[in-house]
């Protein structure tokens, strides 16, 4: 993590800086808010700023916003009273660190605010296969496209690739293409020269130059405007960029990673994504499976989040009860790892006993996790379906094996066609065509049972 310290380095602040460095931060320093904005504008880059609370934090944030620079701020100060700390928070600081410093407090605040301390938690074999491929391609400079549903951890994989690469000691810069308005994204990526447009009061270094020597992550690349896609393609091909309003190209040495939660092949067919850009980005594709496809990771991730938020909230780290663990395992987690993390954060706050029980684990609407879900696609459900379908396979034809697998899976799903198709990994249309063939051949096909939609 890159930390920019703003203020005079007196004894206590200097001690805090040393503690931050020991926690893994790469620290730079300026004395004034004007110098801080200038450093960020010039491409020095920071993931977090630690600012003396006696400085005008509100003015610093306003100056950065005017330059389209967004870096979270942690205020700090010696002997600050509650009013001073509250004023810093109201001005826009995310947290307040009192000085003299405490090493554990500094480490936890830096990790929480910067949000780049996200270890890779993997126990499921499906996810282990993804990590094995990531390990294989990480040392190269090949562009990698990371795909998967929202919340599966695509950025965590991107950071893992960077950490395993030859550029690990160089910057890792992430740009969320979906969060930045179209008219601002070009300047954000490529920078601009003074006077390039109204409000461009000075040269601004973009993310391409800021990432020079390191890795640039283009998060949710599918949301990028078609015109900008053409400029991005040239930058990737030529390894040089043009600042907005610039007169000569600037050479860059970066590795490109990109993520998407959409089907980019379909986006190409729909005419909203350039096919040549897809080929440039998709040298290697890493598909991150949904959490329901890697049930072995659920409890390991849940326990990690319980520990993380117990520390963050200053409460005892309590184990999950047996019933809580069972319900976590059968929930489908449509919001994936992000939903699980939020659920465990709530559970840490709501739990009051010696264990975190099932009543403390709540869905976003406040409802508890279901006691049972007959359609949940868990490891247990999949193994039961596979066990039933694998009986007496030896000596049968492939067609007969396929028929038995489909019928047994459908029985397991109480006749629900949609859930059976999901477990089998085929489309609902394919499943219906197969069932039509079986019915016409006189094979008994399970009908939807009470409470199970035919879908």
Show me where the domains of the chain are located.
Answer: 2-114, 128-287, 292-360, 379-440
Q: What is the pLDDT of residues 3-33, one digit of tens each?
A: 899 988 777 888 888 888 887 788 889 999 9
Q: In what order do the strands lie in the sheet with 215-219?
A: 172-176, 215-219, 255-260, 144-147, 284-287
- Fold match between 292-360 and 379-440? no
Res 428: pLDDT = 82
Kindly report the CATH number that applies to the domain delimited by 2-114: 3.40.50.2300
Residue 6 near residue 59, CB atoms below 8 Å: no
Say which residues have a Cβ less than 8 Å from residue 442's Cβ, sequence separation at least 6. Answer: none
Q: What is the pLDDT of residues 336-359, one digit of tens each?
A: 999 999 999 999 999 988 999 999
The pTM (predicted TM-score) of the whole model is 0.70
**CATH number of 292-360, picked from 1.10.8.60, 1.10.760.10, 1.10.150.110, 3.40.50.970:** 1.10.8.60
Q: Give the C-alpha separation, 61 to 153, whole Å.
A: 29
For domain 379-440, the CATH superfamily is: Homeodomain-like (1.10.10.60)
Q: Please report how many Cα atoms fall inside a 13 Å half-sphere around the Cα of residue 40, on the Cβ side.
A: 27
Q: What is the pLDDT of residues 356-399, one digit of tens each?
A: 999 999 988 888 888 754 444 444 444 444 444 444 455 567 77
Give the residue, 156 or 69, on which the prediction is more confident: 156
The whole-angstrom distance between residue 411's C-alpha and the CA centroid of its chain comes to 37
Q: Give the C-alpha separation, 153 to 125, whole Å.
A: 16
Q: Give the C-alpha separation, 30 to 189, whole Å.
A: 25
Res 64: pLDDT = 85
CATH 3.40.50.300 fits 128-287, yes or no: yes
Q: Highest-confidence range of 4-13, 157-166, 190-199, by mean pLDDT? A: 157-166
Q: Looking up tokens 């293409």, which residue turns up?
A: 177
Q: Give the C-alpha separation, 145 to 221, whole Å.
A: 9
Res 313: pLDDT = 82
Give the residue, 410 or 327, on which the prediction is more confident: 327
Res 303: pLDDT = 96
Q: What is the pLDDT of residues 102-136, one digit of tens each?
A: 887 787 777 666 555 678 899 999 999 999 999 99
What element of type H or E holds 286? Answer: strand 284-287
Q: Give the C-alpha separation, 293 to 97, whole Å.
A: 41
Q: Give the C-alpha separation, 41 to 67, whole Å.
A: 7
Compute the Cα dihedral for 290, 295, 299, 301 and give only its sign.
negative
Question: 232 phi and psi, to 5 degrees?
Answer: -65, -40
Determine whether 455 is exposed, middle or buried from the number of CB atoms within 10 Å of its CB (0-12, 13-18, 19+): middle
Paired residues of 4 in beta bridges: 28, 49
Res 140: pLDDT = 94
């Amino acid at each position: 993590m890159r930390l920019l310290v703003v203020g005079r380095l007196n004894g206590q602040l200097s001690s805090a800086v040393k503690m931050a460095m020991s926690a893994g931060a790469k620290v730079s320093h300026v004395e004034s808010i004007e110098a801080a904005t200038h450093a960020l504008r010039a491409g020095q880059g920071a993931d977090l700023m630690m600012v003396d609370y006696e400085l005008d934090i509100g003015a610093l944030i306003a100056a950065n916003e005017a330059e389209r620079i967004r870096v979270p701020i942690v205020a700090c100060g010696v002997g600050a009273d509650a009013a001073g700390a509250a004023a810093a928070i109201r001005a826009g600081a995310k947290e307040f660190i009192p000085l003299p410093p405490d090493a554990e407090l500094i480490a936890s605040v830096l990790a929480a605010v910067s949000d780049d301390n996200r270890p890779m938690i993997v126990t499921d074999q499906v996810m282990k296969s993804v990590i094995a491929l990531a390990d294989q391609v990480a040392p190269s400079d090949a562009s990698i496209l990371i795909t998967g549903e929202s919340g599966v951890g695509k950025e965590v994989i991107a950071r893992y690739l960077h950490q395993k690469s030859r550029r690990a000691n160089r910057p890792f810069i992430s740009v969320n293409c979906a969060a930045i308005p179209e008219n601002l994204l070009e300047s954000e990526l490529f920078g601009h020269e003074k006077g390039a447009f109204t409000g461009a009061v000075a040269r601004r270094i973009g993310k391409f130059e800021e990432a020079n020597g390191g890795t640039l992550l283009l998060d949710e690349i599918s949301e990028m405007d078609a015109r900008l896609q053409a400029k991005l393609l040239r930058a990737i091909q030529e390894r040089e960029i043009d600042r907005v309003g610039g007169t000569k190209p600037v050479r860059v040495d970066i590795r490109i990673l990109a993520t998407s939660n959409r089907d980019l092949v379909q986006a190409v067919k729909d005419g909203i994504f350039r096919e040549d850009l897809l080929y440039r980005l998709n040298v290697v594709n890493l598909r991150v499976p949904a959490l329901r496809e890697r049930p072995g990771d659920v409890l390991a991730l849940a326990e990690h989040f319980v520990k993380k938020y117990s520390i963050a909230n200053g409460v005892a780290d309590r184990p999950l009860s047996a019933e809580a663990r069972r319900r976590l395992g059968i929930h489908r987690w449509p919001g994936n790892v992000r939903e699980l993390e939020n659920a465990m954060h709530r559970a840490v706050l709501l739990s009051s006993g010696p264990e975190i029980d099932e009543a403390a684990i709540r869905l976003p609407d406040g409802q508890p996790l279901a006691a049972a879900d007959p359609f949940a696609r868990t490891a247990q459900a999949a193994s039961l379906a596979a066990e039933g379908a694998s009986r007496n396979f030896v000596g049968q034809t492939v067609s007969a094996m396929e028929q038995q697998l489909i019928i047994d899976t459908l029985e397991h799903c109480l006749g629900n066609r949609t859930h059976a198709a999901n477990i089998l990994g085929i489309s609902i249309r394919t499943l219906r065509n197969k069932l039509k063939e079986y019915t016409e051949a006189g094979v008994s096909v399970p009908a939807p049972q009470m409470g199970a939609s035919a879908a």
